[in-house]
Amino acid sequence: MRRLWNLEEFPFHPEKLSHNETLMTIGNGYLATRGSFEEGFTGESVTTMVHGIYDHADGMLVPELVNAPNWLPIKITVDGTPFKLINQNEMNLTPKNGALIGYRRNLNLKTAVLTRETLFRAESGAIVRIVFERFASLADEHILAQRVQIVAVDGSPEIEVEAYIDHSVTNMGAQHWGKIETKHDQNTVSVGATTIQSGYRIGMSSVLLSDHKVEILMDTPHKRAVMRTHFTLPREASTTLYKFSSVYTSRDIGDPVLAAQRKLQEAYKTGYDALLQAHCKEWELYWDSSDVQIEGDESAQFALRFVMYHILICAPRHDDDVSIGAKTLSGFGYKGHVFWDTELFILPPLTLTQPQMARNLLMYRYKRLSGARNKAKASGYQGAMYPWESTDTGEETTPSWGDPQQDGTRIRIWTGDSEQHISTDITYGVLQYWHWSGDDNFLKQYGAEIVLDTAVFWGNRVEDKNSRYELSQQIGPDEYHENIDNSVFTNRMVVWHLEQAFALLGWLKNNAPADYQRLVKQLDLNDDRLAKWIDIIQKMYIPFDEQKQIHIQFPGFFEMEYVPVPHYEPRTASVQAIIGHHRTIQTQVIKQADVVMLMALLGDKLAGRDVLINNWNTYFPRTDHGSSLSPAIHAWVAARLQLGDIAAEMFEHAAEIDLNDNKGNVRDGIHGAASGGLWQALVLGFCGLHLDDNGQPAVDPHLPAHWKSVSFTVYYRGEKRHFTVNNPVVETLNA
């Protein structure tokens, strides 16, 4: 069982440094810190990200989440030899640098505690065992705790320990902290810093506790205060040190440095063991509703816990003004920007297992309606058009240009202009949350305004052409094909959106007449506007091939070059990388689930089984899975279509994205959408959880043949519902 809750690294794998650094991120919904080492290591990307702290550095195209000062540093010397991880092969060559003779690291997913055991031989020959442990408290999100146990295994070494806060951090070279001040008193060190453009202030304080005297010295070259202790450790004796840190920002409180200093006093009075106990208790509550148990497939079991862990450590608990970026809080990828990844991939597991956190994420969008209205207005439309990439301001923050390519040229990025389906994706998230949670107050006060004002946008955005309604210059989920006309995904989802807007208006009229009146007036939902919505629902162009009985991804798609994607197996790169960007965009190679995504979202409301199967047979063999968002959606849809083997294969593919780094970019952060997608593939796909015609939760399972059972819990209208789904195939085999 231990394996099923523990991510282990044994022995040290320097070649997987950045991969493991991402996987071993810890967090508590307020901040997250990558699994970098206390003593540092060349090539690390030491990162702590605090939700909501964005800054737009000079010379950069867009704002990004800022790397906060590093609270981890604890440097130990053993008889004068600095403790550090040295490649096992190098160690014999350079004994004067000491040698790492034992290493095991473990991230406990159940408790979010990261532990590292090491054995180190100093140049003097003394051997010490050093065990590091850290956690970001879930019981009090402003507290970070570290423990170091040192045992003299051989010899009686002189030990020196230095701990500090490193404020010399950047975002891969980009400087965001302007005014940095360091302070210290008799026991603690503090850093206050302000972001250059956005003016957010952070306060961080640390204390080092030891059985031996700790003094504070100034490290003038680095402009920091260092807490230092030293002692002799008799052979076989051991000692334990603690470092507590606290973080606040100006988003929380007026004087974050003072608040951090005060919280620190509280932390060390409480003590490590009590803090750890409170933290673990909170995690128990998390898992009580968010754990899924799979009998019969340990890899799938572990993968599910791993993805849910990563969603839980970045989901805001007490803050409804922030959201989750595409790479969670675990790396610099996509600069901490929020995409459709949140509402369609990451949100559903929270809606169903942690509804309060889902509500927080949706409130982030509500509070950014003004950004969405600004975007619509700037583009000449009415209503609210959400940005493709969003940060703290809610304005469009998609960069217009990509990073320079090898030849120095940059590719124009059109998603901020044309990937407009995001407004409907957010509406999907709002309504899914409402149907499952029954949170009518949320809907009346906030959610309805999102659904209706984005509907106003679509009503105004569509083009009345050729006796039907069309949408030109779109990008559907398949981003290889840009600025196309009539993406079937977008057009069909717009029809769905307007239908939902109507149903919602009817509900409001009957159940919340005052809110109905308010919204009709505020959003100018006059008769003409509503009549146009009906007309659009009836006359929107849904590209469909009557003869082949398939949806057409967009008109002209099948006139492009056909590339036999399955023949490119086994490949380690995307087909796009193999045949090049310029050729790919002129072929039928699809980046990710597009028509298949539509099938996932609308299920049999899209079409009967024959058409769905035809769609699958058409689009699956053309799909590159060039985005990590793709495999889990395919697993989900294949499971619903009862394509057992493919569903299992796609599920495995999705499960490996981060754990095996099969896209080679996990160093940039966890793939948040793939994580949420995996949970959906399991619960909505394999188990077939849905709301039946009476609005009651029901399952319709098609589990992979070798699974015995799946158990999970979801919240339905404030109550917990537990499901266990047994696999009939396995039961028959075992009978």
Subset of residues 24 to 63 that bind ligand BGC, contact rule: CB under 6 A: none
Q: How far apart are CA 130 and CA 144, in angstroms?
A: 20
C-beta of 341: minimal distance to ligand BGC in Å? 5
CB 509 within 8 A of CB 525: no
Q: SS3 string of 486-546?
A: CCHHHHHHHHHHHHHHHHHHHHHHHHCHHHHHHHHHHCCCCHHHHHHHHHHHHHECCCEEC
545 Cβ partners below 8 Å, 6+ apart?
A: 551, 552
Whether the bond into 69 is cis, omega within 30 of 0: no
C-beta of 390: minimal distance to ligand BGC in Å? 12
Subset of residues 145 to 184 that bind ligand BGC, contact rule: CB under 6 A: none
Subset of residues 565 to 604 that bind ligand BGC, contact rule: CB under 6 A: 591-592
Which range binds ligand BGC by CB under 6 A, 135-143, 272-280, 303-311, 333-341? 333-341
629 near ligand BGC, rule: CB under 6 A: yes
What letter represents residue 107's amino acid? L
Q: How far apart are CA 203 and CA 257, in angstroms?
A: 4
Nearer to ligand BGC by Cβ, of 121 and 421: the residue is: 421
Nearer to ligand BGC by Cβ, of 282 and 656: the residue is: 656
345 near ligand BGC, rule: CB under 6 A: no
Nearer to ligand BGC by Cβ, of 152 and 600: the residue is: 600
Size of the site for ligand BGC (CB under 6 A): 12
673 near ligand BGC, rule: CB under 6 A: yes
C-beta of 627: minimal distance to ligand BGC in Å? 4
Among 268, 302, 334, 554, binds ligand BGC (CB under 6 A): 334
Of the residues 470, 479, 649, 656, which is catalytic?
479
Subset of residues 373 to 402 that bind ligand BGC, contact rule: CB under 6 A: none
C-beta of 402: minimal distance to ligand BGC in Å? 11
Which range binds ligand BGC by CB under 6 A, 113-121, 218-226, 335-343, 653-661? 335-343
Tokens of 566: 């399955």
Which range binds ligand BGC by CB under 6 A, 105-113, 337-345, 399-407, 439-447? 337-345
Nearer to ligand BGC by Cβ, of 153 and 590: the residue is: 590
CB 681 within 8 A of CB 651: yes
Nearer to ligand BGC by Cβ, of 426 and 703: the residue is: 426
Among 79, 341, 439, 482, binds ligand BGC (CB under 6 A): 341
Residue 479 bears catalytic tag: yes
Which range binds ligand BGC by CB under 6 A, 145-153, 334-342, 376-384, 433-441? 334-342
C-beta of 590: minimal distance to ligand BGC in Å? 11
Q: How far apart are CA 469 and CA 373, in angstroms?
A: 23
C-beta of 64: minimal distance to ligand BGC in Å? 14
Q: Which long-range contacts (CB under 8 A, 24 or more apart) does 726-732 make?
A: 727/296, 727/701, 727/703, 729/703, 729/705, 730/296, 730/705, 730/706
Nearer to ligand BGC by Cβ, of 113 and 326: the residue is: 326
Among 54, 339, 651, 686, binds ligand BGC (CB under 6 A): 339
Q: How far apart are CA 577 and CA 584, in angstroms?
A: 9
Q: How far apart are CA 333 and CA 671, in angstroms?
A: 9
Question: In terms of Cα–Cα distance, which of 364, 362, 369 is closest to 522?
Answer: 369
417 near ligand BGC, rule: CB under 6 A: no
Nearer to ligand BGC by Cβ, of 459 and 626: the residue is: 626
Nearer to ligand BGC by Cβ, of 86 and 629: the residue is: 629
Among 68, 76, 300, 326, binds ligand BGC (CB under 6 A): 326
580 Cβ partners below 8 Å, 6+ apart?
A: none
Instruction: Give the per-residue contact string, 502-531, with ligand BGC (x = CB under 6 A; - = no).
Output: ------------------------------
C-beta of 265: minimal distance to ligand BGC in Å? 41
Q: In 354-476, where does DSSP find H-type helix?
A: 355-366, 369-378, 415-418, 422-437, 440-442, 448-461
C-beta of 479: minimal distance to ligand BGC in Å? 4
Q: Report helix, strand or coil for 393.
A: coil
Q: Report helix, strand or coil for 620.
A: helix
Which range binds ligand BGC by CB under 6 A, 289-297, 339-347, 406-414, 427-435? 339-347
Q: How far apart are CA 704 and CA 35, in angstroms?
A: 34
Nearer to ligand BGC by Cβ, of 176 and 337: the residue is: 337
CB 449 within 8 A of CB 369: yes
Instruction: Answer positive or negative: Cα dihedral of 659, 665, 670, 676.
Output: negative
Nearer to ligand BGC by Cβ, of 39 and 341: the residue is: 341
428 near ligand BGC, rule: CB under 6 A: no
CB 256 within 8 A of CB 190: no
Residue carrying the six token digits 């982030």 = 364
CB 681 within 8 A of CB 652: no
Q: How far apart are CA 580 and CA 655, in angstroms?
A: 27
Which range binds ligand BGC by CB under 6 A, 129-137, 201-209, 336-344, 392-400? 336-344
Subset of residues 272 to 311 that bind ligand BGC, contact rule: CB under 6 A: none
CA atoms in the 13 A half-sphere facing the CB of 217: 11
Instruction: Give the per-residue contact string, 468-487, with ligand BGC (x = CB under 6 A; - = no).
Output: ---------x-x--------
Nearer to ligand BGC by Cβ, of 21 and 479: the residue is: 479
C-beta of 417: minimal distance to ligand BGC in Å? 15
Tokens of 93: 């060559």
Residues that bind ligand BGC (CB under 6 A): 326, 334, 339-341, 477, 479, 591-592, 627, 629, 673
Residues labelled as active-site residues: 479
